[in-house]
Structure 1
Amino acid sequence: MWEVAVRFVTLITESEFWFALGFTVSNALIGLLLAIIVGIPLGMVLGTSPALNRSTQFLVDLGRAFPVIALLPVMVLILGATAQMEIVVVFLGVVWPILLQTIDGAKRVEPVIADTVSAYRIPLRLRFIKVTLPNAAPFAVTGIRIASSASILIALGVEVLSVTPGIGGEISRAQTDGAPALALSYVIYAGIVGFLVNKVLWSVEGKLLAWNRQSVEAAA
């Protein structure tokens, strides 16, 4: 434990650590951002169109059940052990929780509200902005929070298996070099990164969706 503690402290003075940290976090966040850009609009479309949702249900179920790590050898062959490959694998792994949560939120409109909107013939654009989007937002944010933790895990897994530069690659190299203290230090830092990302998203969610929490508390 003492060796791990010493290596944990001295690691922050090394440039290799900061490069590995930046590589892993940036690739994970880029993959997450691409998943948000694709998942939320697509989820809104599928959630508001029952016919389109039914016709794509099999593909969505197949995609979310497919283990993304199984694609890693193919991605390495196509793109190589590069940052682009890691971003693509992260994107393919985290787009599904965002997509599914957004679909669920877009579909869960209260029957009274849906009947009122239909009875008063509210225009489609106004219905989307005032009804569908606020209803889907809490679900989409939950999907983003789930995907954020998964993005770090997938990035680390890709780096460990493909020895791509990053925290995972450093863990793999430390294992090969027989340096358990270094490997455990990187593992601890990886856990800290995941914890901080989750806390930041919790804070952002609390500020952006304060109206939703207040309404839930009032209803309770």
Structure 2
Amino acid sequence: MTARTIDPPRTTTRYTFARLAGTRWPAKIGFVAAVLALWELAVRLGQPGSLPAPSRVAPTLVDMIGDGRLVGPVLQTLAAWALGLLVATAIGVAAGLVLGVSPVMERLTRFTVDFLRTIPSLALVPLAVLLYGSGIGSTLLLVVFASTWPILLQTAHGVHAVDPVASETCRSYRVRWHHRLLFLVVPGAAAYLATGVRIAASVSLLLSLSAELLIPAPGIGQEIAVTELGGDLPAMYAWIFVAGVLGVVINALFSRIERALLRWHPAHRREAR
């Protein structure tokens, strides 16, 4: 694979300081409050006139939570996101292991993979609508297509990063191939795989929202499009806020899961020091 991959976390003084500083919730809350205050001030001064003030968006969001309008679209978006990510993970891990273990397969498929992963996923919207209409199937097609590539590439490069001395030792002792795969290759590539899944989780959410917005398919994206067409700007920005919060929560959740599951990995042990 010729693509540049994202290595597992490394311990540096700058990274450690940034990580410690990033855990200060009062600073984060203060920054958000400052942004909201500037937003409110800009609207009250009349720039720009089409942007509703936070003081109008917040009550709308509270009403949406209170009357239950929030639950259905959020669950529909999460269903498309989770199912698409699950299918992409299964395909990406299986294909990445094959390409990582077999140099012949990697050379044969290099052009195809590089060609397909450069196709914008949203360019497949007409095909998705033609095949599945405006249902969840169209969203899943776009999500799986976009989310498979980071998992596949990271898995393949993780297999390449397995300790060659350990690999030669297994071959010398004639360890069965499935035992090598289970106890050497998969643990050795685990950090790369976890990074690929974390990236794919964000990509899956972005494609779910984009598909719902453009097709439109049921979910948060469809609600954003409907409220925009109806001229209900406070509700539109409330839905955009919900989408942003969902992205932050998903990223934080996957980061914590990665640290918990890979606590044994050298990269994460160094990070924890």
TM range (shorter): over 0.9
Tell me whether 168-177 or 115-124 shows the greater mean CA deviation.
115-124
1:42-191 alignment, distance < 5 Å = 42-191=95-244
**TM superposition outliers: structure 1 runs of 4+ over 6 Å:** none
Cα distance, 1:15 vs. partner? 3.1
State the secondary structure of the residue aligned to 1:137.
helix
Cα distance, 1:108 vs. partner? 1.2
User: In the alignment, what sits opposite 2:257?
Assistant: 204
Is residue 163–residue 188 contact of structure 2 (8 Å, CA) maintained in 1? no
Distance 1:152 1:24 in 2: 8
| Unmatched 5+ stretches in structure 1 | none
Is residue 47–residue 107 contact of structure 1 (8 Å, CA) maintained in 2? yes
| Letter matched to residue 9 of structure 1 | V
Cα distance, 1:14 vs. partner? 2.9
Is residue 109–residue 135 contact of structure 1 (8 Å, CA) maintained in 2? yes
Is residue 263–residue 269 contact of structure 2 (8 Å, CA) maintained in 1? no
Cα distance, 1:216 vs. partner? 5.0
**TM, length-normalised to structure 2:** 0.76
Distance 2:256 2:166 in 1: 30
* Greater share of residues in helix: 1
Distance 1:202 1:213 in 2: 16
Is residue 163–residue 173 contact of structure 1 (8 Å, CA) maintained in 2? no
State the secondary structure of the residue aligned to 1:211.
coil
User: In the alignment, what sits opposite 1:35?
Assistant: 88
Is residue 44–residue 103 contact of structure 1 (8 Å, CA) maintained in 2? yes
Cα distance, 1:2 vs. partner? 0.7
Distance 1:32 1:128 in 2: 23
Distance 2:189 2:118 in 1: 23
| Letter matched to residue 157 of structure 1 | S
The yes-or-no answer on 1:8 pairing with 2:91 is no
The yes-or-no answer on 1:18 pairing with 2:66 is no
State the secondary structure of the residue aligned to 1:39.
helix
Distance 1:142 1:17 in 2: 31
User: In the alignment, what sits opposite 2:14?
Assistant: none
The yes-or-no answer on 1:195 pairing with 2:248 is yes
Cα distance, 1:112 vs. partner? 2.2
Distance 2:59 2:269 in 1: 47
State the secondary structure of the residue aligned to 1:15.
coil
User: In the alignment, what sits opposite 2:34?
Assistant: none
| Letter matched to residue 73 of structure 1 | P
Is residue 158–residue 188 contact of structure 2 (8 Å, CA) maintained in 1? yes
Cα distance, 1:115 vs. partner? 2.8
Distance 1:215 1:78 in 2: 43
Deviations 1:142-188 (A, max 9, x none): 10000001111101101111122210000001110111111111111
Deviations 1:46-92 (A, max 9, x none): 10000111101111111211101000011101210101111121111
Is residue 4–residue 185 contact of structure 1 (8 Å, CA) maintained in 2? yes
Structure 1 or 2, whichever has the larger Rg, is: 2
Is residue 39–residue 99 contact of structure 1 (8 Å, CA) maintained in 2? yes
| Letter matched to residue 116 of structure 2 | G
| Letter matched to residue 64 of structure 2 | L
